[in-house]
Chains A and B, each alone.
Chain A
């Protein structure tokens, strides 16, 4: 096992007479951007396929006109960005975009950061040569968050492209505009690329691809982010602020474990209330795509806090006598380190049922593989051409890995296997070479054995495992996992064609699995014998940071202080506890992301109360500020002695993530050992409940946000929901819960999903470590 290496072949190219180095096979546009050379371009999105909708990126290469966004760099290329011909084309294109474009920059939400405005100015368009009668186009709300104004849309197709190539929902597409046909005379009287662009533009608008008026998608809002004009805006944001009034605060999304780079954008709430308020969240959409929680769950601040000394003293007292501190993964590295220090000095127990199984799993992995951490990341996964996902509900748990899984299919001519007991209707649509296995709960080991069977170099396998694998009949494993074995075996060679880089995405189901140890062994074997890189999805938020920094205990005993969790004394950033704490948008600190990057986040909003560090100062030796802890994060776990203020928080023009630093991973040589056999009859039967949140919901904080509408409840496929009725009572071995039944049209099969994002409902206690439970479900 070793680090994932990606070596690019660098070649020399010339742009406008200056020599640059560029990656061979890279698009000219990206190569130019990486070298800080400007080439006009509207429709191209880094990490997505070029659509040639705008044609403005026209450049001349060795005397021939090409589109910079879809022509690849070759050694010795000579590129000219502006020639008189190209300038004429570009100017004509911008004039065409301005034909019938409403003169409403004055009210438009995009004004000030509008690419149509920018390029109109850049190309000095001061008069119009073209005209055509306009078509009436009505604005529409496509979902609870999306607002589309076709009048402003320039049909660059960035929204449809990102939705298809990155997000995977492909929920929007170009549709007929019903506009007047272009007069043929234009064809001879105007530059030809501009004519072709206009011809297409005049015919199209954007619409939900399911043919209805609503998108029925995951509401991630990425289409809003990429829209170069004011055509797509969030319903909440429309007409509430000008771009230039907003202050951007670089931060990290607090919800999924992806640690997405975001900007909180703030300005005073209003005329009466001058306190800063977050109006929206934006992102570097060329380099990072957000999920709905990262984009819309931002207003979870604790605005009631004040310096309540009585509560503070009670807090100090509670922590002094506490036997256990219960917390979850929504906590910064620094705070985790404080709790760990408290444990070391005062001997309190640290109880975190959300992270504990993951921590144990990492330890098992470390012992079996010799690597201190898994070797993959989202960034390296995006470069793979074969993705395998096991043990996670990709759509619910890990937006970043879902995007990678999908992107691999679309961009790298990839293939994918998705193993999960809960059927999913969306994932098979990611690509033709995606196979989904909806297997029985309990056959997780069989999944990995199948992967060994399919991918491993059998000669490298330890002898017992090799023998065991050989003992299975032809297609036995496939059939056991519920696949149409013959069809699959016919398709598989095609899926494998020209594949070089394989990634295994491991999800939360495995961490609390009764056979976790064997699963780890099998994963290590896959790494060693099939060349898989492995990326694990930490359950939520900063689970990886907590797992690395804290020594967690298996149970809570005695007097318990809860931090954003239930307890005898409750520290809470939700404003409902005994002592207020700052929410993630009110504090600075670092997170450890799924990609093993330690990233800094900044405070967007004021906070007037006490912070955890104040309590620490009373209890143990604490530095004066929370971020003074940053340099003391445990180096034996891969952290560096870097000060918070020395960390960068940017991407460079080539898309390189320069935030913070990468954890150091160490690799010891360990011989992979034999895996154990499994019992194919050890499966769950009956009514099965799965612990999973709807997409966009992760914790109490995402729930608090006003633009997250997904309710707490029992999610089920349409059929199953119909059978269950409106409410259901679920009887677990150690308790019961009555919840609403909610349809998730993208779910398939009989397994239902119970949300866990409300800490007050204590769903973790109901489930125990495993994410699946056999239960009795009654009509509630």
Chain B
């Protein structure tokens, strides 16, 4: 791409066209006439009628269009990066996070922190996990790096809070176990591409 157009900073020789505007009123009387003429056009009443009609429709005919925020929220694109969700495995209900710490590492605002331990089933258990949403810049790196598709961006976009630090714990972000059937596979940042299978070589297995 040629950068010529960006480099030409000589604004002085360009061809400006002057608008052919009406003459402005000069005397006080002329000004008064202009105001009255502009205000009391019949369109005003057309507008008032439309408003009245819609009010009747909304209130009495059940045709309301306004979203009742904050009681009602519009769905948001899966590509939007809002407050994180922690997903569970559909089959077992177990949380997906394996405690690998990659999200913690990659986070450029350094707002993820976690503790892990060796549990009684000889597995790595995430014993504590927090994100400080006061620092999070919603870049989506954590969701992208997560090898388990465990941390994803959810739909909760209200991020205002009363304090600079505002921590969410693991439990706060985890899909409630009774809503497991409502859990959606994430299609946004870091999700598997539809043709992922074509891009990998299969490994021979001897079973």
Instruction: Enumerate chain A interface residues (CB-CB to B < 8 A).
Output: 105-107, 111, 126-133, 139, 238-242, 244-245, 268, 270-271
Contact = CB atoms under 8 A, between A and B. Distances in A.
| Centre residue among A127, A130, A131, A271 by max chain B CB count within 10 A | A271
Interface stretch (B14-22, B41-49, B82-90, B113-121): B113-121
B124 A131 contact: no
Interface of B: 98-102, 104-105, 113-118, 122-125, 128, 130, 147-148, 201, 203-207
B113 A271 contact: yes
Contact of A271 (B100, B101, B115, B124): B115
A129 B105 contact: no
B114 A271 contact: yes
Contacts of A270: 115, 128
Nearest to B125: A239
Interface centre among A127, A241, A242 (most CB of B within 10 A): A242
Nearest to A109: B124
B204 A130 contact: yes
Contacts of B125: 239
A103 to B, nearest CB: 10
Nearest to B122: A139
B130 A271 contact: yes
Contact of B116 (A126, A131, A139, A240): A240
B206 A133 contact: yes
A244 B106 CA distance: 11
Given A107-B98, A242-B105, A271 B206 contact: no
- Complex A-B, nearest 8 residue pairs according to Cβ-Cβ distance, in ascending order: A106-B100, A131-B206, A107-B124, A131-B204, A239-B124, A238-B118, A239-B118, A128-B203
Nearest to A268: B113
A288 B26 CA distance: 97
B147 A106 contact: yes
22 contacts: A105-B100, A106-B100, A106-B102, A106-B148, A107-B99, A111-B100, A126-B201, A127-B201, A127-B203, A128-B203, A129-B204, A131-B203, A131-B205, A239-B124, A240-B116, A240-B117, A241-B116, A244-B105, A245-B101, A245-B104, A271-B113, A271-B114
Contacts, number: 54
A672 to B, nearest CB: 60
B105 A107 contact: no
B33 to A, nearest CB: 73
Nearest to A245: B101
A240 B123 CA distance: 11
A245 B117 contact: no
A481 to B, nearest CB: 50
A106 B98 CA distance: 7
Contacts of B118: 238-240
Contacts of B122: 139
Contacts of B147: 106
Nearest to A126: B201
Given A106-B102, A128-B203, 16 more contacts: A106-B100, A106-B148, A107-B99, A127-B201, A127-B203, A129-B204, A131-B206, A238-B118, A239-B116, A239-B124, A239-B125, A240-B118, A242-B105, A271-B114, A271-B115, A271-B130
A139 B114 CA distance: 25
B207 A133 contact: yes
A268 B125 CA distance: 18
A268 B98 CA distance: 20
A106 B105 CA distance: 13
A242 B105 CA distance: 10
A686 B176 CA distance: 73
A65 B133 CA distance: 58
Contacts of B101: 242, 245
B149 to A, nearest CB: 12
A239 B105 contact: no
A102 to B, nearest CB: 12
A242 B106 CA distance: 13
